[in-house]
């Protein structure tokens, strides 16, 4: 299975899902006006990856900001990781946020509660 790599832009985050190592990264800003078209290939890739996961999956999430329309699409992405976890593959989610960014910390906690997957809420120094 190919690694999924989508370069970061001013309105979309870097997506780097390495199928060989099981290390997945989402980093940057998600303020695109059409998040469905941006995240559709990500969700599709995860649906296929669920059939061929590594022994452990690590998701590194470091979002500076995401808009309301992106939040639903991000939830869909996290649901795919929860499905991978339910199928027996350990999934570690590291949710990075700045120490002073209470909103981003709370967003990570909310996603954790919504998908039933533990998030490690970590602070960027």
Q: What percent of the chain has a predicted confidence (pLDDT) above 90? A: 98
Mean pLDDT for the stretch of residues 89-106: 96
Mean pLDDT for the stretch of residues 22-46: 97
Q: Residue 123: which pLDDT band, with cuts at 50, 70 and 90?
A: very high
Beta-carbon contacts of residue 121 (< 8 Å; ≥ 6 apart): 95, 97, 105, 108, 109
Q: Where are the domains of the chain?
A: 38-98+106-118
Q: Does residue 52 contact residue 19 with C-beta atoms inside 8 Å?
A: yes
Q: What is the mean pLDDT of the chain?
A: 97
Statement: residue 125 has pLDDT above 80: no
Nearest-angstrom CA–CA distance, 71 and 57? 22
pLDDT for residue 41 = 98
Q: What percent of the chain has a predicted confidence (pLDDT) above 70? A: 100
Q: Residue 42: which pLDDT band, with cuts at 50, 70 and 90?
A: very high
């Amino acid at each position: 299975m190919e690694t999924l790599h989508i370069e970061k832009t001013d309105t979309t985050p870097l997506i780097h899902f390495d199928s060989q190592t099981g290390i997945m990264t989402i980093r940057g800003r998600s303020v695109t006006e059409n998040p469905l078209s941006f995240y559709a290939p990500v969700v599709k890739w995860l649906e296929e990856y669920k059939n061929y996961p590594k022994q452990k999956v690590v998701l590194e999430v470091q979002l500076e900001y995401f808009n309301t329309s992106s939040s639903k699409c991000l939830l869909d992405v996290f649901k795919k990781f929860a499905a991978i976890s339910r199928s027996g593959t350990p999934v570690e989610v590291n949710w990075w946020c700045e120490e002073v960014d209470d909103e981003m910390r709370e967003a990570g906690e909310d996603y954790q509660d919504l998908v039933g997957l533990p998030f490690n809420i970590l602070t960027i120094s």
